A = this chain, B = another copy of it.
Amino acid sequence: MLYKKHVFICTNQRPEGSRISCGEEHGLMLVAEFKKLIKNKNLNTEIRAQRTGCMETCELGPSVVVYPEGVFYGKVQMSDVAEIVNEHLENNRIVERLQLTEGDFCQLPWKKC
């Protein structure tokens, strides 16, 4: 596998008045913060964080997913990034307070539960 952890951060921006979206500005701030903290730890060749389009978890966003585990985090704020980097990316401990559960996914309008 090219990356031990591969983090995708939604930066999707929808027009005002349509379905809620993660938002480009907030998303890009999150991306920059992830990149900075990963680089500070010299983990940037093993761990990759990058922007991505809509993950269809809009109502639970701003959304972040960490692969290969497939752990989704929801309502991620700038103040949460250090915890995700220190706990999950560096030490493999999922940040449960932010993790989206099957119950959360069932709130998504397209999800059959």
Which residues of chain A have a CB within 8 Å of any CB of chain B? 1-3, 6, 8, 31, 45, 48, 50-57, 65, 67-70, 72, 100, 105, 110-112
One complex includes copies of this chain to the number of 2
Contact B67 A70 (CB under 8 A): yes
**Is the contact region of chain A dominated by helix, strand, or loop, or is it mixed?**
loop
Q: Cα distance A45–B111 when bound, in Å?
A: 7
Contacts A8-B52, A48-B56 given; does A1 touch B111 at CB 8 Å: no
A6–B63 alpha-carbon span in the complex (Å): 15
Residues of B within 8 A of A51 (CB): 52-53
Contacts of A69 in B (CB 8 A): 68
Chain B residues with Cβ below 8 Å from A55 are 48, 50
